[in-house]
């Protein structure tokens, strides 16, 4: 067990609430009055999978849980779970709802090394590398002489069909770097 | 749910205890609830409510049991409902008493007022506690139907309507406010009411870098302005600008500007001041809410926060308050300038020129707020449903 300050909570953290482990799915920090702050938490009960929402003061102390972590790669989707594999070919299933924010980056047999978190031997969350590379399946070509002033355009990623904003010079087939923490395009690779 | 404990720590100024005292009285007067109000600084409380003794550990005022919240917290039974105002920290012994009850109390953290959208998402949510038997909920005041609303006594608007010319005259006299003859150039005090051709402005603010420029503007303007200055930061800054002391009863004049210092007004009289003045400068939370019920044009100085977080909150309020108002740009410029973003002199001239349309808008705005129900009523309903 460890102490977690509410204002430092992030998605993927596991805390004890009412004697039950819950995983933080989303932590939203908001400044309140007189330099105080509150944090809205969206959490999943690891025993029942029930989703709930709470709010805490940013300086509240919560009971955290020390968790085991392993490097794995993503393998495939077997509804309702995603399957990850470690270096010894052990397979771990993680409920898709728990990692719904990441699904847009999951591609079968992708080579990115992910960090899977376990609670009492059970896989509960995944963290992707901060930077991943994906191929652009479709984007509008640059219009020569376009003076509209737009500096970004939409692009659709291969396999996941995820859409994001890229710079004007990105073309179909380009490989691009994406920041998984912000979800933003970083740069073209080739 | 007949016994409520309300905890208040006075962090600075009077907003905390001002809000708590209003809430305590409403719960007692309008909902027949037995309220015990715990306050750590009775000195501040006594200025808002002169009936309060600054030394009594236990006293009863207006049907409310007032307890001095000292570091040596007594052993008491926990109430049915416990409210910690503005995220104050309850004594550990009291939290133990809450956990010891056969039926745990409804525990509420009454939060700060904000117009930001995230408040709606957090309103009424539970908050995990170290003791699983206890459940705490966050309750947010606000400006929309998805929040707790604002404090407003049931009879407030009737009292305001009944405050007629005769009552206003009596009010001015009770404050010892005098008026100088228009042609007088001395500081000699003359008997009578403020003349009707002057603009009467109440001033309550934190230390404000824009104030000297505004005083200059009033002084150099063609129309007479009488500014009624609350004690504290406003009074000190005005005194510095005048270069001479300012105290209740003293009158100072600089060209078109007449400065009159006020004593510290209890809440009921402060309301009357807001109703009577042509225009009000308010600050923080409590006077800001009362200015909205006063219907007069007002300018708000928001409590300054680190990293300019207050400017986001100011803008959030302006968006809600000014929606659909044709002279919104005038109000926005003046409020922003008063909060450090812009030239107050130009902004003031436009604001005061439009004060009649602003007053009409404020009546519509107060009507919108009124339809949300008042905070005390909404809180009682929330507790019953919990």
The residue in chain B having the minimum alpha-carbon distance to the alpha carbon of residue A53 is B125
- Asked if residues B93 and B75 have their Cβ atoms less than 8 Å apart, the reply is yes
pLDDT for residue B179: 46
pLDDT for residue A36: 84
Q: What is the pTM of this model?
A: 0.82
Question: Which residues from A are below 8 Å from B316, CB to CB?
Answer: none
pLDDT in tens, A103-113: 999 988 789 99
Average pLDDT, chain A: 89
- Do A40 and B113 lie within an 8 Å CB cutoff? no
Within 8 A by CB and 6+ apart from B322, the residues are: B328, B331, B332
For residue B64, the SS3 value is: strand
Strand partners of residue A82: A77, A94
Q: How far is A63 from chain B (nearest CA, A)?
A: 8
- Do A62 and B309 lie within an 8 Å CB cutoff? no
- Asked if residues A166 and A153 have their Cβ atoms less than 8 Å apart, the reply is yes
Residues B64 and B59: their CA atoms lie apart, in Å, by 8
Question: Which residues from B are below 8 Å from A53, CB to CB?
Answer: 125
- Do B125 and A53 lie within an 8 Å CB cutoff? yes
B285 catalytically annotated: yes
What are residue A30's phi and psi, to 5 degrees?
-135, 135
Q: What is the mean pLDDT of residues A121-146?
A: 87
Segment 96-135 of chain B within 8 Å of chain A by CB: 109, 111-114, 116, 118, 121-122, 125-128, 130, 132
Mean pLDDT, chain B cut into blocks of 10 residues (386 residues total) = 92 86 97 97 91 96 96 94 94 95 95 95 93 92 96 96 91 71 42 67 96 97 94 95 90 93 92 96 95 98 91 96 95 97 96 96 96 95 93
pLDDT in tens, B66-124: 999 999 999 999 999 999 999 899 999 999 999 999 999 999 999 999 999 999 999 99
Residue A125 confidence (pLDDT) above 90: no
Question: Which residues from A are below 8 Å from B312, CB to CB?
Answer: 31
Q: Which domains does chain A have, with CATH numbers?
A: 2-64 (2.30.30.30), 68-127 (2.40.50.140), 131-188 (2.40.50.140)
A55 CA to centre of own chain: 21
Q: How far is B45 from chain A (nearest CA, A)?
A: 20
Residue A150 confidence (pLDDT) above 80: no
pLDDT for residue B194: 58
How many Cα atoms are found within 13 Å in the side-chain-facing hemisphere of A94?
Answer: 30
- Give the closest of A30, A35, A38 to B306, CB-based: A35
Which entry of B5, B16, B40, B84 is annotated as an active-site residue? B16
pLDDT for residue A97: 81
- Do A36 and B87 lie within an 8 Å CB cutoff? yes
pLDDT for residue B178: 56
Question: Which residues from A are below 8 Å from B309, CB to CB?
Answer: 31, 35
Segment 131-160 of chain B within 8 Å of chain A by CB: 132, 138
pLDDT for residue A124: 86
Percent of chain B exceeding pLDDT 70 equals 95
pLDDT for residue B137: 97
Q: Which residue has the tokens 């919560």?
A: A62
Q: Which two tokens stand for residue A92?
A: 């771990």
| Residue A187 pLDDT grade (very low, low, confident, very high; cuts 50, 70, 90) | very high
B16 catalytically annotated: yes
- Do A36 and B118 lie within an 8 Å CB cutoff? no
Percent of chain A exceeding pLDDT 70 equals 95
- Asked if residues B332 and B301 have their Cβ atoms less than 8 Å apart, the reply is no
Question: Which residues from A are below 8 Å from B138, CB to CB?
Answer: 38, 55
Strand order across the beta sheet in which A131-139 lies: A163-167, A152-157, A131-139, A175-179, A184-188
pLDDT for residue B349: 96
Residue A142 confidence (pLDDT) above 80: no
Q: How far is A109 from chain B (nearest CA, A)?
A: 39
Cβ contacts below 8 Å, chain A against chain B, sum to 61
């Amino acid at each position: 067990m460890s102490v977690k300050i509410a204002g430092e909570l992030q998605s993927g953290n596991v805390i004890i609430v009412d004697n039950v482990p819950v995983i933080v799915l989303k932590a939203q920090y908001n400044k309140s009055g007189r330099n105080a702050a509150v944090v809205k938490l969206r959490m999943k009960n690891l025993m029942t999978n029930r989703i709930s929402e709470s709010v805490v003061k940013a300086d509240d102390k919560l009971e955290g849980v020390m968790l085991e972590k392993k490097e794995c790669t993503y393998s495939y989707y077997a509804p309702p779970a995603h399957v990850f594999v470690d270096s010894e070919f052990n397979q771990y299933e993680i409920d898709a709802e728990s990692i719904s924010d990441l699904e847009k980056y999951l591609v079968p047999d992708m080579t990115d090394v992910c960090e899977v978190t376990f609670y009492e031997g059970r896989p509960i969350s995944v963290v992707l590398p901060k930077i991943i590379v994906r191929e652009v399946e479709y984007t509008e070509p640059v219009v020569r002489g376009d003076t509209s002033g737009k500096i970004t355009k939409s692009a659709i990623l291969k396999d996941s069909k995820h859409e994001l904003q890229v710079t004007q010079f990105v073309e179909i087939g380009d490989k691009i770097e994406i920041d998984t923490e912000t979800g933003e395009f970083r740069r073209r690779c080739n | 749910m007949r016994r409520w404990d309300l905890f208040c720590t006075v962090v600075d100024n009077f907003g905390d205890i001002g809000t708590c005292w209003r809430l305590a009285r409403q719960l007692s007067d309008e909902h027949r609830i037995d309220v015990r109000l715990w306050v750590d600084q009775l000195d501040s409380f006594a200025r808002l409510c002169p009936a309060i003794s600054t030394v009594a550990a236990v006293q009863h005022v207006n049907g409310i049991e007032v307890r001095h919240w000292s570091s040596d917290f007594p052993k008491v039974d926990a109430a049915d409902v416990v409210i910690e105002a503005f995220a104050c920290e309850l004594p550990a012994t009291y939290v133990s008493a809450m956990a010891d009850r056969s039926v745990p109390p409804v525990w509420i953290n009454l939060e700060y007022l904000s117009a930001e959208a995230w408040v709606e998402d957090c309103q009424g949510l539970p908050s995990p506690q170290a003791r699983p038997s206890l459940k705490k909920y966050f309750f947010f005041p606000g400006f929309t139907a998805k929040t707790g609303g604002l404090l407003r006594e049931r009879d407030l608007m009737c009292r305001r309507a009944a405050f007629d010319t005769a009552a206003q005259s009596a009010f001015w006299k009770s404050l010892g406010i005098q008026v100088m003859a228009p042609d007088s150039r001395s500081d000699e005090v003359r008997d009578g009411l403020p003349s009707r051709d002057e603009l009467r402005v109440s001033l309550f603010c934190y230390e404000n870098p824009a104030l000297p420029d505004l005083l200059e503007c009033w002084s150099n303007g063609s129309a007479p302005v009488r500014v009624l200055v609350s004690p504290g930061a406003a009074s000190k800054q005005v005194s510095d600008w005048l270069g001479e002391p300012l105290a209740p009863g003293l009158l100072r004049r600089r060209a078109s500007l007449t400065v009159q210092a006020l004593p510290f007004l209890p809440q009921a009289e402060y309301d009357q001041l807001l109703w009577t003045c042509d225009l009000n400068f308010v600050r923080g939370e409590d006077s800001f809410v009362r200015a909205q019920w006063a219907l007069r044009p007002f300018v708000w100085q928001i409590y300054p926060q680190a990293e300019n977080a207050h400017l986001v909150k100011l803008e959030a309020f302006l968006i809600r308050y000014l929606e659909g108002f044709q002279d919104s740009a005038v109000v926005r410029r003046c409020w922003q300038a008063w909060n450090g973003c812009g030239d107050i002199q130009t902004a003031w001239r436009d604001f005061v020129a439009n004060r009649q349309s602003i007053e009409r808008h404020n009546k519509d705005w107060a009507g919108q707020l009124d339809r949300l129900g008042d905070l005390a009523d909404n809180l009682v309903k929330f507790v019953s449903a919990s």
